Structure 1
């Protein structure tokens, strides 16, 4: 299905799960197209702060309840998920969840894995940025730039993906828990461009469902074509505004190939029959154990 205002849209699991860029700009015509797919749930991998920065029409807010998702880590047990309805809507059975991938846990993890001198430099930079924002009253302009400099590591897009799977584990657990609940399907997963955070979740879903690595790689690579209409905006947002490499805008096959190799090397996946209609999957590493239910 083609959307005029929803770039990078495609099917992940037919009739159950779709993926796209942000839904903030959806037009009236595309609202009707989404309705024809019967989508009950949107899992948005942005933070509420990212949402509030958007000046788009956000027509879906009139239909979908806005729900903030907070994840509390309880290792080695599964994380605790808390839901807070931010805005009511006309349909109580349709919900737009916000599960922030770039949270405190993520920032702490990316800092801790770096050498001590880089940690000190990053912390001092963030303190200076905070002081500048306070003095100049810039609505955290410099602090945001300093924070993004930590997120968009100088080691490139592959390390960024590794950081997400290592340090956004609680958010991934929450996203997968929502998406794989039959009551929430059909569902749509998205982020700002639908290329990176969305790609991580889609790759995990496809992998757990037994799709081949080549299927996962091909799905990821489709974002090269899917984000063409967004490329200039992406360049301004990521490269001009934050000084990141242009390679962060790409969705090359070799990136996903190496990312999947990293997951294979670091993580062990066990599949157990949980109940007749679903499969229970345990993704286990040295320091985290998570349980995902995937409906067949």
Structure 2
């Protein structure tokens, strides 16, 4: 879900000097294969924001990508489907939260589902630590799936849009598309 819009947003969070230094590091990375730019930017910019704030940036700036994925899920020829990413809590956690919210699952259940990801991360915690903390320089908290993180994201959506349906509507995912999605993913009510 890393769009140019997100990358530009992150880039502009730093002051002028940091931006120039980071451009030099991009060149060094390109020539050497190192990840100095990411570590530098993570250390000076991203680590100053909470995981929830980073998720909220993705929710806002990658809305078209999120909607594209949900539209893909609406294609009957794409089902059944498995949703995953490298660790299963960030991109996957956000997408699943949006899907569950669209299906009108209670916020508390979405939060609990996200927080349960922490147990699933235990078997790969060394790999997650190596990739997130050592390789890219993120703070240790970025490896956790804490309920407060998802609470803050859902509160942001509720406060700014009123509901997950309205959030998706604001990005062009119509009520007709939403109803089609629900028909695909919900059991019909029995009489």
In structure 1, runs of 5+ residues without a counterpart are 1-100, 272-280
Could you tell me which residue of structure 2 aligns to residue 257 of structure 1? 151
Q: Which has the higher helix share?
A: 2
Question: Does residue 1:120 correspond to 2:16, yes or no?
Answer: yes
Structure 2 CA distance for aligned equivalents of residues 153 and 168 of structure 1: 20
> TM-score, normalising length from structure 2?
0.81
Of residues 103, 117, 120 in structure 2, which corresponds to 1:223?
A: 117
State the shift of 1:149 in Å.
5.4
Could you tell me which residue of structure 2 aligns to residue 176 of structure 1? 70
Q: 1:240 to 1:207 in 2, by over 3 A?
A: same
State the shift of 1:242 in Å.
2.3
Task: Indicate if the aligned counterparts of 1:220 and 1:251 stay in contact, CA closer than 8 A.
Answer: yes
Could you tell me which residue of structure 2 aligns to residue 248 of structure 1? 142
Structure 2 CA distance for aligned equivalents of residues 151 and 184 of structure 1: 38
Structure 2 residue matching 1:227: 3-state secondary structure? helix
Task: Indicate if the aligned counterparts of 2:89 and 2:145 stay in contact, CA closer than 8 A.
Answer: yes
Task: Indicate if the aligned counterparts of 2:157 and 2:167 stay in contact, CA closer than 8 A.
Answer: no
- Report 1 or 2 for greater relative contact order, CA contacts < 8 Å, sequence distance ≥ 6: 2
Question: Does residue 1:132 correspond to 2:28, yes or no?
Answer: yes
Structure 2 CA distance for aligned equivalents of residues 176 and 121 of structure 1: 39
In structure 2, runs of 5+ residues without a counterpart are 184-191
Structure 1 residue matching 2:88: 3-state secondary structure? coil
- Alignment of structure 1 residues 86-105 onto 2, 5 Å: 101-105=1-5
CA RMSD of aligned residues (A): 2.4
> TM-score, normalising length from structure 1?
0.54
Structure 2 CA distance for aligned equivalents of residues 150 and 106 of structure 1: 17
Q: Which has the higher strand share?
A: 1
State the shift of 1:222 in Å.
1.2
Structure 1 CA distance for aligned equivalents of residues 114 and 124 of structure 2: 16
Of residues 131, 143, 146 in structure 2, which corresponds to 1:237?
A: 131
Structure 2 CA distance for aligned equivalents of residues 201 and 211 of structure 1: 14
Could you tell me which residue of structure 1 aligns to residue 35 of structure 2? 141
Structure 2 CA distance for aligned equivalents of residues 169 and 162 of structure 1: 10
Structure 2 CA distance for aligned equivalents of residues 111 and 127 of structure 1: 10
Of residues 283, 286, 291 in structure 1, which corresponds to 2:168?
A: 283
Question: Does residue 1:202 correspond to 2:74, yes or no?
Answer: no
Could you tell me which residue of structure 2 aligns to residue 275 of structure 1? none
